[in-house]
Amino acid sequence: MRVRMRKRTWLVTGVVTVTLVGGVGLWWALQDDGEAAVASPTTTTVASSTMKDTVSASGTIAAASSADLSFEVGGTVSAVRVAEGDTVVKGQVIARVDPTLLDAAVTAAASTYEAAQAQYSEDTDADVSDTQLAADQSQVVAAQASLEEARADRENAVLRSTFAGTVTSLDLAVGDVVGGGSQTSSSGGTTEAGGAGSAGSSATDTGDDSSSEGTVTVVSTDRFVMDATVAGADVESLREGLQAEITVSGLEETVYGTVEEVGLVAETGSSGAAVFPVTIAVTGAPDGLYAGTSAEASVVVKQTEDVLTVPSAALQSDEDGVFVEKVTEAGTVRTSVETGTVYGAQTEVLSGLAEGDEVEVTGLAGRPGGAGGAGGAGSGDGDRPGMQGETFTGGDMPQPSGGFGGGFGGDTGGAR
């Protein structure tokens, strides 16, 4: 039975992107009454956390294994034991061809082998020349090889599933005449030709040019992969074994996986740029996961424990360097800090602060007289929408809260 294995891959650059929405702020700042926004500092606690550098990948969920199975020998199909949609286990019989001619071929090959052995023994006893004995011995070896081949052909008269899965296509029926063809198997994406088939002449060759391949397709339903691609600039940071978090369209829960293969040959992406294939093996088989579904993956290429960070918005700088306003019982104190890696909305602090310290983060509040509404539903007695920052803790990006004074649906309480 021949099997052709296929594997794919895919992967994309990991970048932490922070998008600040400024359209509303710009409209607010340009109102005609000339009132200035009021800076409203809030505080946050300096904390240590685990920071991850990731690479993003986009692709599609696929069955981890699929195979197009067909008979390795020619003959007439005498039995088909499955139907489309059936679940099969590894080694399960799918179909058979009539073994009559195959049995006859084994019998004939066995007779030839026995005759060759008898001739060799007879010539040995007759003390013939060494040349004749060598020829006899060659006949024995050839006859033995033909016998083994005939037996293998008879064994291949039974078509079996090579793994557990579901029959998705069945181009086979009792009475069909099939020719000895190869099988194709794919795993994770790449396709290769192959398989062990019969060699030499076959006693089961029907000579019928219209014979069918008799293909049966089986796909795995309990193992999946994500076939993805990554930009050329990111492929060097990937390697087998890296962990990934996968977000699948239509599936609420996060799926996890492991990078199984990173392609070395570039492909052309949809934008025309070079991308590299990456295969991510999905851990387990979550409910609701199906082949053909689009997915996004975040591959962790580096993970650092106990990184001390502050919100990037808390950092200020002047000619003397970078500093924060540290909150103490006596008030705020300018404190110089040494910074390291920037993780989007968070920045690593190498010195100057300790875990548990509190620092000020300056945000925007309502204009004088504005009483920032609650999430756009407040009563607001100011005459302009107000927005106020919210106290947040390590790792989270500060978010506007309080809505716009009076909200877009509430009373503004003031006249322009």
pLDDT one-digit tens code per residue, 317-326: 999 999 999 9
Measured distance CA(386)–CA(402) in Å, rounded? 8
What CATH number does residue 261 fall under?
2.40.30.170
pLDDT one-digit tens code per residue, 266-289: 888 888 888 899 999 999 888 888
Number of H helices, E strands in the chain: 3, 23
Partners of 78 in the beta sheet?
none
Q: H or E segment at 110?
A: helix 100-125
**Residue 376 predicted with pLDDT over 80:** no
Q: Is residue 348 part of a domain?
A: no
Q: What percentage of the chain carries pLDDT values higher than 90?
A: 46
Measured distance CA(144)–CA(129) in Å, rounded? 23
Q: Based on the domain organization, do 106 and 75 belong to the same domain?
A: no
Measured distance CA(161)–CA(135) in Å, rounded? 43
Cα dist from 350 to 17, 43, 71, 309, whole Å: 23, 20, 67, 9
Q: Based on the domain organization, do 90 and 165 belong to the same domain?
A: yes
Q: Based on the domain organization, do 230 and 275 belong to the same domain?
A: yes
Return phi, psi of residue 119, to 5°. -65, -40
pLDDT one-digit tens code per residue, 44-102: 999 998 888 888 899 999 998 889 999 989 899 999 999 999 999 999 999 999 999 99
Q: Is residue 264 part of a domain?
A: yes
Q: Is residue 8 part of a domain?
A: no
| Whole-number average pLDDT of the chain | 76
Q: Is residue 278 part of a domain?
A: yes
What mean pLDDT comes out for the span 168-180? Answer: 88
pLDDT one-digit tens code per residue, 339-372: 998 887 889 999 999 999 999 997 644 444 444 4
What CATH number does residue 164 fall under?
2.40.50.100
Q: Is residue 374 part of a domain?
A: no
Q: Which pTM does this prediction carry?
A: 0.54
At residue 143 the predicted structure's pLDDT band, cuts being 50, 70 and 90, is: very high
Range of the domain at 104: 99-156
Q: Is residue 265 part of a domain?
A: yes
Where a domain ends, among 156, 181, 202? 156
CA-closest candidate to residue 264, choices 305, 283, 297, 236: 236
Where a domain ends, among 220, 245, 270? 220
Q: Based on the domain organization, do 105 and 92 belong to the same domain?
A: no
What CATH number does residue 143 fall under?
1.10.287
**Among 121-135, 178-192, 380-394, the range of highest mean pLDDT:** 121-135
Q: Based on the domain organization, do 143 and 80 belong to the same domain?
A: no
Q: 27: which residues sit within 8 A by CB, 6+ positions away?
A: none
Q: 64: which residues sit within 8 A by CB, 6+ positions away?
A: 187, 188, 220, 223, 224, 225, 281, 282
Measured distance CA(245)–CA(302) in Å, rounded? 14
Q: Is residue 319 part of a domain?
A: no
CA atoms within 13 A on the CB side of 396: 11
- Name the one residue in this structure whose structure tokens are 């005498």: 78
Task: Count Cβ atoms within 10 A of the Cβ of residue 235 and give its class: 0-12 exposed, 13-18 middle, 19 or more buried.
Answer: buried
Q: Based on the domain organization, do 72 and 167 belong to the same domain?
A: yes
Q: Is residue 312 part of a domain?
A: no
Q: Based on the domain organization, do 115 and 237 belong to the same domain?
A: no
Where a domain ends, among 301, 331, 352? 301
Q: What percentage of the chain carries pLDDT values higher than 70?
A: 69
**Residue 305 predicted with pLDDT over 60:** yes
Q: Are 398 and 361 in contact (CB under 8 A)?
A: yes
DSSP string, 338-395: EEEEEETTEEEEEES--TT-EEEEEEEEPPTT----STT-S---SSS---B-----TT
Q: Distance between alpha carbon 17 and the CA centroid of its chain, in Å?
A: 22
Q: 283: which residues sit within 8 A by CB, 6+ positions away?
A: 255, 256, 257, 258
Q: Based on the domain organization, do 179 and 232 belong to the same domain?
A: no
Q: In the chain, how many domains are there?
A: 3
What mean pLDDT comes out for the span 381-409? Answer: 37
pLDDT at 186: 57
Measured distance CA(112)–CA(146) in Å, rounded? 9
Q: Based on the domain organization, do 115 and 189 belong to the same domain?
A: no
Measured distance CA(187)–CA(63) in Å, rounded? 8
Q: Based on the domain organization, do 88 and 168 belong to the same domain?
A: yes
Q: Based on the domain organization, do 167 and 90 belong to the same domain?
A: yes
Q: Based on the domain organization, do 170 and 286 belong to the same domain?
A: no
